Amino acid sequence: MSAVLHAHPESGPSLGVDGPDRARRVLSEAGMRGRWWRFALILAITALVLVPIMVTVILALTPGPNSTAIGLTLENITGVFSRTLAATWLQNSLVTTLSTVAVSVAVAAPAGYVLSRGRSKAVSGYSLLLFVMQSLPIITSVVPLFILFAGMGLVDNLLGLTIIYVGSTMTVATWMMAAYFDSIPISLEEASWIDGCSVFGSFTKVVLRNSLPGVLSTAIFAFLLAWNDYLVAIVFLRSNEIFTLPVGVQSFFQQNVTDWSAVMALAVVMMLPPIIVFATLNKYFSVGGIGGSLAGR
């Protein structure tokens, strides 16, 4: 019996499989050549696409006109930190963005859970409301909010900025969380209810604990929006020491002669955090989630 079994794999290749095998080899050679053509194509496209980003990095590392350094140098970056308020701006940006991420997820996760599990008219109406609100231009709310916040001392204030960021990221963040919760089978919660868990308890202990990818994806989204924002910051921030990085970089252009080395040095500092976040957490992020949540609601 074992001899028969043994004989089979040996006889197999020499008989029937030879033809297709050779054909496959020919195919794979053509396939290999195609792969390298496509590699060259995508390499060229990527290089072209990344020109503006490479220019930024190169200019940031090239010694300025008054410099004695040769080759590439970090002195533009150290210089911009010592001569300007860049360190304060960086800190402002980090504080605002990280608070936005934390609060936005904390608000969106429970709301997303209700959107995912609730099926009442009120819940689907709320979902529609979120969609409409996020599609409105932020400029409409900026002016009334400016007046409202001015009365509360929240203009030129990082707390005020954070509140607006949380509000404007919350809508899409809620959908993203809801879309993720949709993928978690309700049987998990049902099991915990039978064990005596409350609705809230099963949400935090069962659902949320299994939602790390969804939470991270939402957090990355909120991070990008808050870190990259320019419109709200330019309206609400007035004094130099309250600026976030985008407003700070722009303030360099208001001088008579633009100091490109300083601008590019700060630009590199500014694009590093989102790039680091994406490089490390890329596998968790899917914009498919944004679209999917829209389709699933």
Partner 1 sequence: MSSTTAPSGLARARRGLAPGGSGGGPRKLNEGLNRKSKLSGQTSRTFFWLLLPSVVLLVLIHGYPLVYAGVQATHDGSLIDTGNFVGVDNFATVLSSPAFWKAAQFTLWFTIVGVFGSWAVGLGLALLLRTKIPAGSTFKVLLLLPWVVPIVVSSTAWNWLVATPDSLIPALFRNLGLGTPLFLADPNLAAVLVMVFKVWVSFPFMMMMTSAALASVDTTVYEAASMDGATKWQQFTQITLPMIARSTYISWILMTIFCVNDFPTIYLLNGGGPVDATTSLVVLAYRKVFQDFQTGPGVAIAFLMTLTLVVVSVFLYRQIRKSSVE
Q: What six digits make up the tokens of 272?
A: 């590093």
Q: Which is nearer to partner 1, 6 or 61 (CB)?
A: 61
For the chain, state the CA radius of gyration: 27
- CA neighbor of 107 nearest in space, from 43, 48, 172: 172
Query: Binders of partner 1 among 150-179, rule CB under 8 A?
Result: 163-164, 166-168, 170-171, 174
Q: How many residues bind partner 1 (CB under 8 A)?
A: 107
Q: Mark the segment that binds partner 1 (CB under 8 A) among 3-11, 16-24, 63-71, 136-144.
A: 136-144
Among 63, 64, 213, 274, binds partner 1 (CB under 8 A): 274
- Indicate the DSSP class of residue 182: H
Q: Which is nearer to partner 1, 46 or 256 (CB)?
A: 46
Q: Within its chain, how far is the Cα of 140 from the centroid?
A: 25
Query: Binders of partner 1 among 86-115, rule CB under 8 A?
Result: 106-108, 110-111, 113-114
- CA neighbor of 243 nearest in space, from 234, 252, 253: 234
Minimal distance in Å, beta carbon 73 to partner 1?
19
Minimal distance in Å, beta carbon 241 to partner 1?
19
Minimal distance in Å, beta carbon 267 to partner 1?
4
Residues 6+ positions from 203 with CB-CB distance below 8 Å: 110, 113, 189
Q: Does 184 interact with partner 1 (rule: CB under 8 A)?
A: no
Among 27, 72, 136, 212, binds partner 1 (CB under 8 A): 136
Residue-by-residue DSSP string for 91-103: HHHHHHHHHHHHH
Minimal distance in Å, beta carbon 96 to partner 1?
14
Query: Binders of partner 1 among 200-259, rule CB under 8 A?
Result: 200, 202-203, 224, 227-228, 230-231, 235, 245-246, 249-250
Among 7, 17, 50, 152, binds partner 1 (CB under 8 A): 50
- Indicate the DSSP class of residue 207: I
- CA neighbor of 100 nearest in space, from 177, 158, 175, 180: 158
Q: Does 141 interact with partner 1 (rule: CB under 8 A)?
A: yes
- CA neighbor of 129 nearest in space, from 65, 174, 185, 192: 174
- CA neighbor of 205 nearest in space, from 192, 187, 190: 192
Q: Which is nearer to partner 1, 16 or 288 (CB)?
A: 288
